[in-house]
Amino acid sequence: MNIKRLLLAILAGWVVIFATDFLIHDLWLGPLYQATKPLWRLETEMHTHICWMFLAQFLIVTTFVIVWAKGFAGRSTGAAVTFGLLMGIFQQTWAIILFVVMPLPGELAVKWFVGGLVQAVLLGIVTALIYKPGVSSR
């Protein structure tokens, strides 16, 4: 496993997730979150828990990149898109489950699902472009 490339892909993937989370949740979904305000923590309270969000993002990206590196590295960008799409479907099922168990608007669940799929595909592409199998530079 190419450790240098693995760490670089994890860092780049985290940047992709961080940036797209801002676009998805602040810009695209912001009005829906405002309309469903009673369901969410106060913004000040969310900020006190932000380290958990960063940890979750890091775990998602790290797992994604390691699975790619172990089983799919060296394949085409098309394979990376397929991998990202499948990993996205696997991860985004939580949006459907939350729609069932919480009084969420269907539009919010659909946008969570779609946004997550787009993120996973982008993550697949970035991971494939950065992580190249080879000898580790330990």
Q: Which pLDDT band holds residue 135 (cuts at 50, 70, 90)?
A: low
**pLDDT at residue 32 tops 70:** yes
pLDDT tens, position by position, 103-132: 999 999 999 999 999 999 999 999 999 998
Contact between residue 73 and residue 131 where contact means Cβ atoms under 8 Å apart: yes
Give residue limits of the domains in the chain. 3-130
Distance between CA atoms of 91 and 73, rounded to whole angstroms? 20
Distance between CA atoms of 16 and 10, rounded to whole angstroms? 10
The residues near 80 (Cβ < 8 Å, ≥ 6 apart) are 68, 72, 124, 125, 127, 128, 129
Question: Residue 137 has what pLDDT?
Answer: 47
